[in-house]
Chains A and B, each alone.
Chain A
Amino acid sequence: MASNLVEMFNAALNWVTMILDAPSARAVVFGVPIQGHFLVEGVLGVVIVILLSLKSYTPPKRPLTEQEIDELCDDWVPEPLIPPITEDMKHEPPVLESAAGPHTTVNGKDVVNFASANFLGLIGHEKLLESCTSALEKYGVGSCGPRGFYGTIDVHLDCETRISKFLGTPDSILYSYGLSTMFSTIPCFCKKGDIIVADEGVHWGIQNGLQLSRSTIVYFKHNDMESLRSTLEKIMTKNKRSKNLRRYIVAEAVYQNSGQIAPLDEIVKLKEKYRFRVILDESNSFGVLGRSGRGLAEHHGVPIEKIDVVTAAMGHALATEGGFCTGNVRIIDYQRLSSSGYVFSASLPPYLASAAITAIDVIDQNPDMLVKLKQNIALLWKGLSNIKGMSLTSNPESPIVFLKLENSRGSAKEDLLLLEEMADRALKEDSLLVVSSKRSFLDKCRLPLGIKLYVSAGHSESDLLKASESLKRLASELLFKS
């Protein structure tokens, strides 16, 4: 028994020795034979396999429990919806008791009205009232639907044709609100990635349109053609890709925030040199500038085809409400389906559209209104040219006369309060209604604040004289008190 075991043990030992001494298992490194390396390699291999199969350490994911979310919700305190009301927010505007013509009634007193953009004096004109009355009797007041769903009334189509005929453009489109015209037109044509060069003094409607379009916006100095030229140069040379993008210049014909007039002939020269398209807002120049009132293009002698998109609000010279956009057929057709202020909003009340048609007819037939307006502007300019403490920043031909404060009081808020006081005293003491600048915190425009007067063809010489004297007196009293 024992000998059998010993024999088996010897046989096993012989076996192991044979394997370990087999030629393939023999390793000789630098002349030193290494024995039993198979074992070491085997152990190492097992260790490697164990290490690789271990999971790496990640901290355990613990989503918030319902109780924790409840606590967070209880702890959270929102800001109040509006900031606390201060005294200056409670200022009440004057309440008119009659039509807003050159003379109007406030608190039972007759005041001279320089605060309505009634440039041609068409408020209260009998032809307009007649056409409105007949439209009201036929169509009622509202149009009860957007343009796509039975809100298109034949007066709308007639109005669009009349505007195109008056300006000499192929087609036009009507909007139901002046402010929404620009902020619906611009996002239609300018998408993300396009480049827009805009004047820094454009009004809030245009700023909102630029923001909604999500394009790259570059501002140039207010009404400064040199700044515009260098901006365009920079864009075209810096950005090689910009040759395939759509590029626009946005400007107003007569700027609402300063009364200056854009030099359209220079803009058109620059546009043709650098291949940009022009979008022009003619709200305050339609019916005012030019020999027959056809706007800035006629004033500068530029053919209207060179301007790609012309928009205007009708709440100024035309004495009605709403807005329109004109241009070539492709542009107008595209807006009929993609302009949000046109598609998703009810159409203009028909009586306002018929008032617009009548107003354009009146302008066509009575060009002497324009002459009277120009004379009035010149008279007022002369009267306001040497007020101490305020200077005229508007163009001598613009119907908006803008007096800016020469020395600011420190902050925009104090300036606003001072100007408001001036306008209030003008109303109370001199029965004169003027506009003091107002800025919303959403408005990005940083042009100087001041007093605005809208000149009308219906103002008489005595009205203009009264305005100049009153403002001279108030300026000397209020600006040199301290």
Chain B
Amino acid sequence: MITIPYLTAVSTYFSYGLLFAFGQLRDYSRLLFDWWRTNNLQGYAPICLAHEDFYIRRLYHRIQDCFGRPISSAPDAWVDVVERFSNDNNKTLKRTTKTSRCLNLGSYNYLGFGSFDEYCTPRVIECLKKFSASTCSSRVDAGTTSVHAELEDCVAKYVGQPAAVVFGMGYATNSAIIPVLIGKGGLIISDSLNHTSIVNGARGSGATIRVFQHNTPSHLERVLREQIAEGQPRTHRPWKKIMVVVEGIYSMEGEICHLPEIVSICKKYKAYVYLDEAHSIGAIGKTGRGVCELLGVDTADVDIMMGTFTKSFGSCGGYIAGSKDLIQYLKHQCPAHLYATSISTPSAQQIISAIKVILGEDGSNRGAQKLARIRENSNFFRAELQKMGFEVLGDNDSPVMPIMLYNPAKIPAFSRECLRENLAIVVVGFPATPLLLARARICISASHSREDLVKALQVISKAGDLTGIKYFPAAPKKQEEDKNGIKLD
């Protein structure tokens, strides 16, 4: 749980108040200025009411250059960030042809498959030549190729479930699967910090939604007991079914879910468990099999395991793994399977090759090396950041590291300062995080070398000093580190 220092909270509220006041002032003056000009809407209601995009126009546009930075190379450890300039005070940004080579701490490239890979890419190109870029058809019509069938087998074996089904997009997987499994008369209990795709899928299903405190199994138990005893709202009939939705690693906190406790509670109260492993599959666990392997949970206890291939496998798409009957039913009824174009065949081949590398079936031990390296890198980086006095969130072993910024002015300051020193970093503010809790998020990759990380630490430390985000006292420097010649302060 994040506890804001009192002074920081006051200054953050004050900053937002100031920005809000200035924004309103500008809006009023714009209203007065437009009074004389004719309204050319001619009877149509405005497509966007003024208060709906207030945040975009008055706050987000000021710092727009920190987001959406285009790159012109593969999203590897080092990336070419395209420089942009603006003539109208950041309202529109234009590309230039100049690029700067920056260290990439922002892409979800956990195992380093995001660029040309010596085993995967030749096979992908072969597959492209044989099957072309797309099948132009849904899976049930003519969109299932032998690669798709092999992929589903491969994923099921890797994750540890009897069967799996693959879709072309992770977001659509959640939105299309949850309404099939649960409908009106059912109850979905989801973690308070779940991803938007889960929230959208839950809303689209028509079931009642209740929220439990983030990663707190005791609160989950209380909510479950209360809800089963009360029954459906107003009629008090018993619920048809209850589904608990949790994620493996929460992408904005870097925390790993307390899966063993949650699974035992769900077994006791006969609720179904839906685990979204978007960030954890391939990144944690001894052989990269995700949070179940790391925490020692039997995969047969988790009813539905969902994940995406965008992060650790360097491809696109999502999967659902479960029992054979479940997958058979989903293939028959899920709209994303029946109506949407199947996943692009070369992307499917990339996933198969990446899984083979991770399991060591390609004949080398690159997979084991990558897994060991990402664990080492994450733990080293987190320990060093904490020593410097930054407020870093997340558990050990998790490759996602948010650094708290809080103040809205520090968001662009930190980001621009890092870019000046050739470090590409991601900053997140409202609405992806709560209003007061803006942060910078670091994603470590297995393709980062130790020198890269040391350089990154130096740049972050300098930027952190300039913007004043070292909220905790720094650990005292040890004498041995001086002798090694690595100064880390």
A302 at the interface (CB under 8 A from B): no
The A-contacting residues of B in range 203-237, CB under 8 angstroms, are 203-204, 224-226, 228-229
The A-contacting residues of B in range 42-70, CB under 8 angstroms, are 42-48, 52-53, 56, 60, 67-70
The A-contacting residues of B in range 117-143, CB under 8 angstroms, are 117, 120-121, 124-125, 128-137, 139-143
Nearest Cβ in chain A — how far from B56, in angstroms? 5
A39 at the interface (CB under 8 A from B): no
Most buried by B among A77, A139, A204, A336: A139
15 A-B residue contacts at CB 8 Å? A69-B229, A85-B329, A96-B145, A118-B136, A123-B136, A132-B346, A141-B120, A151-B107, A183-B175, A208-B204, A275-B43, A315-B134, A321-B134, A340-B197, A346-B170
Binds A, one of B31-39, B71-79, B155-163: B71-79
Binds A, one of B5-13, B330-338, B365-373, B398-406: B330-338
A351 at the interface (CB under 8 A from B): yes
* Complex contacts, B14 vs chain A, CB 8 Å: none
Residues A345 and B426 in contact, CB atoms below 8 Å apart: no
Binds A, one of B21-29, B311-319, B389-397: B311-319
A231 at the interface (CB under 8 A from B): no
Residues A129 and B328 in contact, CB atoms below 8 Å apart: no
B17 at the interface (CB under 8 A from A): no
Residues A177 and B115 in contact, CB atoms below 8 Å apart: no
The A-contacting residues of B in range 261-296, CB under 8 angstroms, are 269-272
B307 at the interface (CB under 8 A from A): no
Nearest Cβ in chain B — how far from A436, in angstroms? 9
* Closest residue on chain A to residue B240 by CB atoms: A79
Residues B142 and A113 in contact, CB atoms below 8 Å apart: yes
Of A321, A344, A443, which one neighbours B195 at CB under 8 angstroms?
A344
Residues B140 and A438 in contact, CB atoms below 8 Å apart: yes
Interface size of B in residues (CB-CB distance below 8 Å):
119
**Contacts A141-B350, A275-B43, A349-B316; is A344 near B136 (CB within 8 Å)?**
no
* Complex contacts, A159 vs chain B, CB 8 Å: none
B303 at the interface (CB under 8 A from A): yes
Residues A140 and B136 in contact, CB atoms below 8 Å apart: no
Residues B135 and A340 in contact, CB atoms below 8 Å apart: no
Instruction: Please report the C-alpha to C-alpha distance between residue A349 and residue B107 in the assembled complex, in whole angstroms.
Output: 14
Instruction: Kindly list the 8 A-B residue pairs having the minimum CB-CB distance in the complex, ordered from nearest.
Output: A315-B341, A115-B142, A177-B169, A179-B340, A345-B171, A346-B310, A144-B75, A144-B107
Most buried by B among A93, A116, A139, A154: A93
A211 at the interface (CB under 8 A from B): yes
**Contacts A247-B45, A337-B56; is A315 near B132 (CB within 8 Å)?**
no
Nearest Cβ in chain A — how far from B169, in angstroms? 4
Residues B241 and A81 in contact, CB atoms below 8 Å apart: yes
Residues B136 and A319 in contact, CB atoms below 8 Å apart: yes
Residues B142 and A150 in contact, CB atoms below 8 Å apart: no
B326 at the interface (CB under 8 A from A): yes
Residues A142 and B350 in contact, CB atoms below 8 Å apart: yes
Binds B, one of A3-11, A99-107, A462-470: A99-107
Nearest Cβ in chain A — how far from B69, in angstroms? 6
A57 at the interface (CB under 8 A from B): no
* Complex contacts, A433 vs chain B, CB 8 Å: 142
Most buried by B among A77, A132, A212: A132
**Contacts A100-B136, A433-B142, A442-B333; is A180 near B108 (CB within 8 Å)?**
no
**Contacts A133-B125, A143-B75; is A96 near B135 (CB within 8 Å)?**
yes
* Closest residue on chain A to residue B149 by CB atoms: A95
Of B108, B121, B204, which one neighbours A137 at CB under 8 angstroms?
B121
* Complex contacts, A90 vs chain B, CB 8 Å: 328
A40 at the interface (CB under 8 A from B): no
Instruction: Please report the C-alpha to C-alpha distance between residue A345 and residue B109 in the assembled complex, in whole angstroms.
Output: 15
A325 at the interface (CB under 8 A from B): no
**Contacts A129-B132, A334-B48; is A144 near B339 (CB within 8 Å)?**
no
Nearest Cβ in chain A — how far from B41, in angstroms? 9
Most buried by A among B74, B120, B269, B346: B74
Instruction: Please report the C-alpha to C-alpha distance between residue A340 and residue B198 in the assembled complex, in whole angstroms.
Output: 12
Instruction: Please report the C-alpha to C-alpha distance between residue A179 and residue B308 in the assembled complex, in whole angstroms.
Output: 17
B87 at the interface (CB under 8 A from A): no
Instruction: Please report the C-alpha to C-alpha distance between residue A147 and residue B73 in the assembled complex, in whole angstroms.
Output: 15
Of A81, A247, A320, A336, which one neighbours B272 at CB under 8 angstroms?
A81
* Complex contacts, A77 vs chain B, CB 8 Å: 270
**Contacts A116-B135, A177-B168, A319-B133; is A346 near B140 (CB within 8 Å)?**
no
